[in-house]
A and B are shown apart, each in its own frame.
Chain A
Amino acid sequence: MSQSNIQQSILASGSEREQKGKKASKLERFKVVFAREKYLYLLALPGLLFFLIFKYFPIWGLALAFQNYSPYLGFWDSEWVGFKHFIDFFTNPDFLLLFRNTMAISLMNIFFFFPIPIVLSLLINEVRSMKFKKTVQTIIYLPHFLSWVIIAGICFIILGHDGIINEIIVAFGGQPIGILTEPNYFWGLLTGQSIWKEAGWGTIIFLAALAGINQDLYEAAQIDGANRWKQMINVTLPGIKSTIIVLLILRLGQVMEVGFEQVYLMMSSPVSHVADVFDTYVYRTGIQNGRFSYATVAGIFKSIVGLLLVVMANRLAKKIGEEGLY
């Protein structure tokens, strides 16, 4: 054994020892902290157990992506097929189309939908008349309770060929437009629906965050002579910044989820090349055709994309000096 080799091995064992020590101290520290903070851990216990039982135990189900899963045979007796379904999924000629549509619908949602509840709640926050405030709030929460089935139904009635919008167009001498069947309008139509349905409801979280801002800060700003606009920029926005960032990061994690029900209900043959997304595809091939394993592959793919985006966004948030998610 040469000199350098020996030296290396000494070094290695040294660092090994160091690591062992670190490990031991980590465990020690946990024991100490645990003993000291046992009530804090007790508070967290029911919630943690919930996640363990209801969210982690069923995860073994993801393994059926590697099987030809048959519900009758069950998990243990189904045939294992390795990556077959993954290969089928990624080599499917429609894959890129599905990816494009999913991303387009999702990104339009983030750009156009996401800021609206923030703006709305800032506006509502400026209203001093309690009566007006309450009325506006109650009204804009209403659409949240309508199911997509109903909203799609209302859209078909209002935007259809004989609907009120086209009747107005015709009354002004125009030609009726197939709003529901025009591919160019479809993404916009979906975004519009989401805004109408959920923007008002989305203000609840921001309003609660706004309510939590220390009123002294406003008084201090007023003494400094800050006007309303400046108060909003310097006090209000920083007060809800962390909520905005957390919501945005969480939203990024859901980028591959585009509201199956909504798309499915609004989809029709003329728009299907812009409307078909992963969820509708999975429903068609996985659920209708009973290919559970194949559907699981799509689910895993969606999850991994979401995870990557969340981790990246979180890192970015921390880089610019924010708390982040974790």
Chain B
Amino acid sequence: MKKRSWVTRLFAITLTLTLTLVGCSKGGETTNTADTGAAGGDKPTEITIGTMTYGESPSNDLDSIKQLNEELNVKLDIDFYPINSYKEKVNALLASKSLPDVILIEDINDPVFSTATEQGAFWDLTPYIKDYPNLSAYPENTYENTKFQGKTYGIPRVRPLDGHESLIIREDWLKQVGMEAPTTMDELYKVLEAFTKNDPDQNGKNDTYGLAQASVSSYLMSMFGAGTNWKEQADGSLLPYWITEEAKTALEFWNKAYVDGLITPDLPVMKSSQVKEMLIQGKAGMAIANVNEAFMFGQELKKVNANAELKAYEIPSAPDGNKYHDQAYGSYGVFLINKLTVDEAKLKKILEVYDKTASVEGYNLVTYGVKDVHYTISEDGSIVQTEEGKNKAYGTATTAQWISGYFNKYQRAEAPDMPADVKDYNYKLIDAIANSSVANPAAGLPVTQAWMEKGADWQKKFVDMFTNVLIGKSSMADWDNFINGLKADSSFQQHLKDTTNSYKAK
């Protein structure tokens, strides 16, 4: 009996499949006609949105969604996909032409989506953004950095530009070894040395490191003035930061520090979460991290060692006397709007929703829910979620993921329960960093054909060589050979040429 129902089911499936395949081959285009629902009518506009979640998937009948639906005469339907495999999920949706009206992608230059954008899959928002006051209030660099072939295709999820690179130091160790926070690279080296060799934790063992660092990062070079991703040369052309002379100076510095044992020796295999562990275990005295992480890691460090203190500082100045911080992109991911399912009237409705949620009130409503029910505001002005708010899965890791939010320059300075004096110090630090932060000159330029084909491979070889020279497995001569080999590669030359050309045309 059981078997027969199986057979029938499978037959039914085969039949459906054959029919669908026939249907598909006749032309998938025509089945996806745009919604013609007029926005002005009484019927609410239905909007489907796909985004990521770092935790649970919030439901669609939250009070916040209901309130927005009513206020804007829309019907929001939001799908949350787990962050770990977001890219695979979205690629599959694109391939089967089942993308929602609004879809979040992490990088506007993502090769899969950029091809689709070129082929006209998404709305060009350039002429529309200016009509929406909250959206157009985002910093200019946020839009510059997310342009695709000179046009704005996505609503950027706005994030701070500065504060992701600061030197966080064990203040109590500095006192122990009798030093000040380093302001130049030479001083940095001395502190690294003292933290490693002068037993700053006074346990009588030689078991500490100056710097906790997980794998190689661009800031190791850019803090020496190598440039943020690219550097403009005297002749107006662009070079990747790691090909510059400054990059070689940086390599020599870090190689010496590593060989002298001043950096965590497991650097090539360490994960970035281990940096935090090394700091909290009192094994390392410095790390490069977000400004607010000095306070947040410090809180946990204090549980282990009550006298310990972590403080954030500017990155020391490069040999040329200037300070260099990479400027961040100012956004994390963009929302693209599907041209297959959205007409102009609906597009405007969608932008209305995003403009609404780009205000502080709109952001708080979506992220934290209804005030005094799902969250309260404490005396120092910070938001405290209630149990109900948490149970409904409100929060930055979940509900905030489907909106673009508002620009908060000091986001990376703040943290819950932070005392006023620390906050004050951090704000000033962000301001100082903002003064010396360098934007990526090539931001918003089209990705070259050569990079699309070979970029990931070049990137890997560069990271391998960077790591091996740093840890002393390869020599500076190997580094020079590697750079010269790349420079002689015709497709790499083409990559540099195309980038420079589009930079000059900008």
Q: Contact residues of A with B, CB < 8 Å?
A: 42, 45-46, 49-50, 52-53, 57, 70-74, 76, 94, 156, 160-162, 176, 178, 180-181, 268-270, 272-273, 284-285, 288-291
Q: Which residues of B contact A71 (CB under 8 A)?
A: 91, 94-95, 112, 115-116
A73→B119 contact, CB < 8 A: yes
Q: What is the CA–CA distance of A273 and B478 in the complex, to the nearest angstrom?
A: 15
A-B pairs, 6 with minimum CB distance: A290-B111, A269-B467, A72-B116, A71-B95, A290-B112, A269-B464
- From B59-67, B134-142, B264-272, B285-293, the one touching the partner chain is B264-272
Indicate which residue in A50, A72, A290 contacts B110 across the interface (CB closer than 8 Å): A290
Please state if A74 and B28 are interface contacts (CB–CB under 8 Å): yes
A53-B14, A76-B25 known; A270 vs B7 contact (CB < 8 Å): no
The distance in angstroms between the C-alpha atoms of A36 and B13, with both chains bound, is: 28
Q: Which of B46-54, B344-352, B453-461 contacts A (4 or more CB under 8 A)?
A: B453-461
Given A71-B112, A181-B269, A268-B269 in contact, is the A284-B456 Cβ separation under 8 Å?
yes
A85 to B283, CA, bound (A): 49
Q: Across the interface, do B268 and A181 meet the contact criterion of CB distance under 8 Å?
A: yes
Chain B, 209-223, CB within 8 A of any chain A CB:
215-216
Known: A270-B471, A272-B460. A53 touches B269 (CB 8 A): no
Do residues B111 and A291 form an inter-chain contact, with CB atoms below 8 A?
A: yes
Chain B residues within an 8 Å CB radius of A52: 14
Is there an interface contact between A53 and B13, defined as CB atoms closer than 8 Å? yes
- B174 to chain A minimum Cβ distance, whole angstroms, is 24
- Are B10 and A53 neighbours in the complex by a CB distance under 8 Å? yes
Quick check: is B504 within 8 A (CB to CB) of the other chain? no
Indicate whether B3 reaches chain A with its CB closer than 8 angstroms.
yes
A269 contacts B468, CB within 8 Å? yes
B106 to chain A, nearest CB (A): 12
Residues of B within 8 A of A46 (CB): 3, 6-7, 10
Asked if B473 is at the interface (CB within 8 A of a chain A CB), the reply is yes
User: Known contacts A70-B116, A290-B111, A290-B115; can you find 15 more A-B pairs with CB under 8 A?
Assistant: A50-B10, A71-B115, A71-B116, A74-B28, A94-B457, A156-B266, A162-B283, A180-B268, A181-B269, A269-B215, A269-B268, A269-B463, A269-B468, A284-B456, A285-B457
Kindly state the separation between the CA atoms of A161 and B455 in the bound complex, as whole angstroms: 32
- Please state if A288 and B456 are interface contacts (CB–CB under 8 Å): yes
Report the minimum CB–CB distance from A262 to chain B (whole Å).
14
B393 to chain A minimum Cβ distance, whole angstroms, is 25
The reply to whether B14 and A49 form a contact with Cβ atoms under 8 Å apart is yes
Within the complex, the shortest CB–CB distance from B446 to chain A, in Å, comes to 15
CB neighbours of A290 from chain B (8 A): 91, 110-112, 115, 452
Given contacts A46-B10, A269-B268, contact A74 B95 (CB under 8 A): yes
Contacts of A73 in B (CB 8 A): 119
CA A288 – CA B106 in complex, angstroms? 13
Q: In the bound complex, do residue A291 and residue B269 qualify as a contact, i.e. CB atoms below 8 Å apart?
A: no
Q: Are A53 and B17 in contact (CB under 8 A)?
A: yes
Chain B residues in contact with chain A, CB under 8 A? 3, 6-7, 10-11, 13-14, 17, 25, 28, 91, 94-95, 97, 110-112, 115-116, 119, 121, 215-216, 264-266, 268-269, 283, 452-457, 460, 463-468, 471, 473
Is B13 touching A45 in the complex (CB atoms < 8 A)? no
**5 A-B pairs with C-beta separation under 8 A:** A49-B14, A71-B95, A156-B266, A268-B215, A272-B460
Q: Which residues of A contact B115 (CB under 8 A)?
A: 70-72, 290
Residues of A within 8 A of B466 (CB): 269
Closest to B271 in A: A156
Classify the interface of chain A: helix, strand, loop or mixed: helix
A46 to B9, CA, bound (A): 10
Interface-centre pick from A50, A71, A290 (highest chain B CB count, 10 A): A71
Across the interface, A289 reaches (CB within 8 A) one of B17, B111, B268, namely B111
The residues of A that contact B216 with a CB separation of less than 8 Å are: 269
Contact A268 B116 (CB under 8 A): no
Q: Which of A72, A94, A176, A290 has the most CB of B within 10 A?
A: A72
Shortest Cβ gap from B291 to chain A (Å) = 28
Given contacts A161-B266, A268-B268, contact A289 B6 (CB under 8 A): no
Which among B265, B268, B456, B464 is the interface contact of A285 at CB below 8 angstroms?
Answer: B456
Bound CA span A181–B471, Å: 10
Q: Are B28 and A289 in touch, CB under 8 angstroms?
A: no
CB pair A57–B460 under 8 Å, yes or no, is: no
- Bound-state CA distance A273–B473 (Å) is 13
Which residue on A lies nearest to B283, using beta carbons? A162
- Nearest residue in A to B340 (C-beta to C-beta)? A72
Q: Is the beta-carbon distance between B266 and A160 smaller than 8 angstroms?
A: yes
Contact partners of B471 in chain A: CB under 8 A: 181, 270
What is the distance, in angstroms, from A89's C-beta to the closest C-beta of chain B? 12
Report the minimum CB–CB distance from B12 to chain A (whole Å).
Answer: 11
A202 CB to nearest chain B CB (Å): 28
How many Å lie between the Cα of A19 and that of B454 in the bound state?
A: 54
Q: Is the Cβ of A291 less than 8 Å from the Cβ of B453?
A: yes
With both beta carbons as reference points, the residue of chain A lying nearest to B93 in the complex is identified as A71
Least CB distance, B11 to chain A, in whole angstroms: 8
Chain A residues with CB under 8 Å of B6's CB are 46
- Asked whether, in the complex, the Cβ of B269 is within 8 Å of the Cβ of A156, the reply is yes
Considering only CB atoms, which chain B residue lies closest to A286 in the complex? B456
Residue of A nearest to B452 (CB): A289
Q: Chain B residues near A289 (CB, 8 Å)?
A: 111, 452-453, 455-456
Tell whether, in the assembled complex, residue A57 and residue B10 are in contact, meaning their CB atoms are under 8 Å apart.
no
CA distance A57 to B16 in the complex (A): 13
A94 to B456, CA, bound (A): 14
Please measure, in the bound complex, the distance between the C-alpha atom of A49 and the C-alpha atom of B283, giving whole angstroms. Answer: 60
B25 and chain A: residue at smallest CB distance: A76
Bound CA–CA A70/B283 (angstroms):
49
**B residues near A273, Cβ cutoff 8 Å:** 464
Contact partner of A70 among B119, B453, B468, CB < 8 A? B119
Residue of B nearest to A289 (CB): B456
Closest to A183 in B: B473
Q: Tell me whether B269 and A180 are in contact (CB under 8 A).
A: yes
How many whole Å from A276's CB to the nearest CB in chain B?
8
Nearest to B120 among chain A residues (CB) is: A72
Which residues on the B side are within 8 Å of A284 (C-beta)? 456-457, 460
Smallest CB separation, A289 vs chain B (Å) = 5
CB distance from B382 to the nearest CB of A (A): 35
List of A residues within 8 angstroms of B94 by Cβ = 71-72
Complex CA distance for A46 and B28, rounded to whole angstroms: 31
- Whether the Cβ atoms of A162 and B266 lie closer than 8 Å is yes
